[in-house]
Amino acid sequence: MRGLEYAGCRLPCTRSQTKGCRVSELKRTPLYDLHVSLGAKMVPFAGYDMPVQYSLGVMKEHLHCRAAAGLFDVSHMGQVILRSEDPEVAKAALETLIPQDVLELVEGRQRYGFFTNDAGGIEDDLMFANRGDHLFVVVNAACKDADVARMRAALEPEVTVKLLENRALLALQGPKAEVVLAEHHPVVAEMRFMDVATVPIAGAECWVSRSGYTGEDGYEISVPAAAATDLAKALLAHEDVEAIGLGARDSLRLEAGLCLYGHDIDETTSPVEGGLTWGMQKVRRAGGDRAGGFPGADRILREMGEGVSRKRVGLSPEGRAPMREGTPLFASADADTQIGTVTSGGFGPTVGAPVAMGYVDAAHAENGTTLFGEVRGKRLPVSVAKLPFVAAGFKR
Amino acid sequence: MKFTEEHEWLRVEGDEVVVGITAHAAEQLGDVVFIELPDEGQTVSKDDEIVVIESVKAASDILAPLDGVITEVNEPLVEEPGKVNEDPEGDAWFFKMKIEDLSALDDMMDEAAYKKFIG
């Protein structure tokens, strides 16, 4: 059989990774030894040697996370602190880079956002939290150096930008996440979706947020690197918790309709095309008190008023064949003109069928529209589907 | 049983050869979610891509190990691709083929040689 050599690393690679990252340069997270001891298959991802799966395998890991709880190492992501003498300065400054409402984000709350560029494209997506005297920002691994450089260039010297190299980041996701983490500190059960708090867990100062990227309820836990392995082991000791690799992380987020940066959104896609305007608060939109004032505002606000020519949509292949990233889409079985492209696609273990998302011309973006994806030279039917494929389990 | 460097196994049954993928290959692939089989009666040449196999992680092809004619395909696999992970060297065979000269198998690896090949 051909293609086996790729089977270990056909995880969607991020742009900067495909530009060439030699194995000898791979970085390790503080949990590397634990991954190896758990029998993980390690692959290069965004410059890090990361677990793509453990002994359960992608399918069972995915299903376990939806049924109970899964523990993910996301320490490769960038954790950044923005600090200014007057915290309002840092908040106002961040608003110049992202189309979100930072100023009115109250202490103890977090938001999803995205860095835009002057052309209205997306440079990266991020989470930012108001932690009182500072903002805590989490960005994608592949983009973190560029993001830090962008923030330094725009925000310093009034705001200090510090990339934390001494903390790991774990995600505990799934319907049992609350019960499991509350055994370590009951306060986490009282947190709502997108709350953040400092919580001592397993003897370490953890920065906990009730969030994640699987569509499930759960937590993301920033922990000092030196305490990360002990915390991970303590969580894994619970019978409901399994270690989950990047393979299942990808299928979980795809079923949840969440974008993978570099694939479903990138520097050419606007937040309007990407269907992310829910993440732009009214105050930053046209007519709002602080409308605009972020890179690419002209295009983004114009598109919000006038509409866009292409849109990100969910795609449900009608047969069993997965439609992978790059699959061209057509309006009919014999049309010559391509009207879209799959940007993420694979098998959805919870759906029990292939799932995908991609961009299509606006004329073909309505739910239920039948399109055709070309797979190995054959045109196979695929319908435009509502996202997410699996309903979110957030505790709002 | 004989083995190819493409991680297929071949078992002679009368004048036919049964073909599947090895347990090693199935493990490397991970959970198989989609299989496309050749047509019965199809004439194939060595190294033709005749089976598509997709796992949660990757798409792969199975190549015809020899020249010949496909005599039977394991149709139930299409409905239950996960069988490839459960019993790759038994129930989850992919196709049977008739070949001109069974002696072509003599050059292929036996189990010991294949084990050494995959290290």
**Tokens at residue B99, please?**
């070949």
Query: B28–A7: do the CB atoms touch at under 8 Å?
Result: yes
- Using the predicted structure, report yes or no on whether residue A261 has a pLDDT greater than 60: yes
pLDDT at B104: 87
Lowest mean pLDDT among A234-243, A298-307, B51-60: B51-60
- Using the predicted structure, report yes or no on whether residue A17 has a pLDDT greater than 60: no
Q: Which domain holds residue B80?
A: 2-101
Residue B28 lies in a domain: yes
Residue of B nearest to A62 (CA): B56
Domains annotated on chain A, with CATH = 4-14+22-77+166-255 (3.30.1360.120), 309-396 (2.40.30.110)
Crossing angle (nearest 10°) for helices A58-67 and A246-255: 60
CATH of the domain at B26: 2.40.50.100
Residue of B nearest to A245 (CA): B57
- Separation in Å, CA of A318 to nearest CA in chain B: 13
- Using the predicted structure, report yes or no on whether residue A10 has a pLDDT greater than 60: no
When CB atoms are compared, the residue of B49, B52, B57 closest to A7 is B57
CA–CA distance, A173 with A63 (Å, rounded to integer): 12
Residue of A nearest to B25 (CA): A4
Residue of A nearest to B9 (CA): A1
User: Sheet containing B8-13: which strands, arranged edge to edge?
Assistant: B2-3, B8-13, B16-21, B95-98, B68-73, B43-44
When CB atoms are compared, the residue of A1, A53, A247 closest to B53 is A1
pLDDT > 70 fraction of chain A, expressed in percent and rounded: 94
Rounded to 5°, the CA angle A223-A228-A229 comes to 170
pLDDT at A340: 98
Element (H, E) at A33: helix A32-37
Query: B31–A59: do the CB atoms touch at under 8 Å?
Result: yes
Residue B110 lies in a domain: no
- Using the predicted structure, report yes or no on whether residue B57 has a pLDDT greater than 90: no
Task: Quote the mean pLDDT of chain A.
Answer: 94
pLDDT at B34: 95
Query: B34–A52: do the CB atoms touch at under 8 Å?
Result: no
pLDDT at A25: 82
Query: B60–A3: do the CB atoms touch at under 8 Å?
Result: yes
Identity at A35, one-letter amino acid code: H
- Separation in Å, CA of A5 to nearest CA in chain B: 9
Residue B38 lies in a domain: yes
Residue B75 lies in a domain: yes
Q: Find chain A residues with C-beta within 8 A of B30's C-beta.
A: 7, 53, 57-59, 247
At residue A3 the predicted structure's pLDDT band, cuts being 50, 70 and 90, is low
Return the closest-CA partner of residue A57 out of B13, B95, B29.
B29
CA–CA distance, A203 with A368 (Å, rounded to integer): 52
CA–CA distance, A256 with A59 (Å, rounded to integer): 16
Which comes out higher in pLDDT, residue B28 or A101? Answer: A101
When CB atoms are compared, the residue of B29, B51, B52 closest to A4 is B29
Residue B35 lies in a domain: yes
Q: Find chain A residues with C-beta within 8 A of B28's C-beta.
A: 4, 7-8
Residue of A nearest to B4 (CA): A1
When CB atoms are compared, the residue of B8, B34, B61 closest to A322 is B34
| Contact present, B27 and B54 (Cβ < 8 Å) | no
pLDDT at B59: 86
- Separation in Å, CA of A218 to nearest CA in chain B: 24
Residue A352 Cα distances to A34, A55, A59, angstroms: 31, 21, 10
Number of domains in chain B: 1
The model's pLDDT over A129-143, given as tens digits with 9 standing for 90+, comes to 999 999 999 999 999
CA–CA distance, B9 with B2 (Å, rounded to integer): 6
The residues of B whose Cβ lies within 8 A of any Cβ of A are 6-8, 21, 25, 28-31, 33-34, 36, 49, 51-63, 78, 81
Lowest mean pLDDT among A3-12, A110-119, A163-172: A3-12
When CB atoms are compared, the residue of A1, A247, A349 closest to B57 is A247
Residue B24 lies in a domain: yes
- Residues for chain A: how many in total? 396
Q: Find chain B residues with C-beta within 8 A of A320's C-beta.
A: 33-34, 78, 81
* Helix extents (H) in A256-374: 297-306
Q: Find chain B residues with C-beta within 8 A of A377's C-beta.
A: none
Position of tokens 């903002």?
A: A135
- Using the predicted structure, report yes or no on whether residue A233 has a pLDDT greater than 70: yes
Tell me the backbone φ, ψ of residue A66, rounded to 5 degrees.
-75, -25
Chain centroid, CA A103 distance in Å: 23
Element (H, E) at B86: helix B83-86
The model's pLDDT over A102-114, given as tens digits with 9 standing for 90+, comes to 999 999 999 999 9
At residue A7 the predicted structure's pLDDT band, cuts being 50, 70 and 90, is very low
- Using the predicted structure, report yes or no on whether residue A19 has a pLDDT greater than 60: no
Residue of A nearest to B85 (CA): A57
When CB atoms are compared, the residue of A10, A320, A376 closest to B57 is A10
pLDDT at A1: 56
- Separation in Å, CA of B93 to nearest CA in chain A: 13
Return the closest-CA partner of residue A248 out of A349, A360, A126.
A349
Count, in order, helices (H) and strands (E) of chain B.
4, 9
What ipTM describes this predicted complex? 0.84
The model's pLDDT over A315-344, given as tens digits with 9 standing for 90+, comes to 999 999 999 999 999 999 999 999 999 999
Lowest mean pLDDT among A24-33, A218-227, B72-81: A24-33
- Separation in Å, CA of A42 to nearest CA in chain B: 13
Tell me the backbone φ, ψ of residue B101, rounded to 5 degrees.
-135, 100
pLDDT at A23: 47
When CB atoms are compared, the residue of B8, B21, B34 closest to A320 is B34
| Contact present, A172 and A181 (Cβ < 8 Å) | yes
Position of tokens 């602080």?
A: A290
pLDDT at A13: 39
Pairing of strands A69-73, A241-243: parallel
The model's pLDDT over B95-108, given as tens digits with 9 standing for 90+, comes to 999 998 888 899 99
When CB atoms are compared, the residue of B31, B63, B81 closest to A2 is B63
> Among B55, B77, B84, which would you mutate to test the A interface (most chain A Cβ atoms within 10 Å of its Cβ)?
B55
Identity at B75, one-letter amino acid code: E
| Contact present, A260 and A250 (Cβ < 8 Å) | yes
- Using the predicted structure, report yes or no on whether residue A49 has a pLDDT greater than 60: yes
Residue of B nearest to A346 (CA): B56
* Residue A133: partners with Cβ closer than 8 Å, 6 or more residues away: A83, A87
Residue B91 lies in a domain: yes
pLDDT at A2: 66
- Separation in Å, CA of A8 to nearest CA in chain B: 7
Residue B115 lies in a domain: no
The model's pLDDT over B14-56, given as tens digits with 9 standing for 90+, comes to 889 999 999 999 998 899 999 999 999 999 999 999 999 999 8
Interface size between A and B, measured as CB pairs under 8 A = 84
Mean pLDDT of A238-256: 97
Q: Which residues pair with A139 in a beta bridge?
A: A78, A126
Is residue B79 classed as helix, strand or coil in its secondary structure? Answer: helix
Mean pLDDT of A54-69: 96
Task: Quote the mean pLDDT of chain B.
Answer: 94
Q: Find chain A residues with C-beta within 8 A of B84's C-beta.
A: none
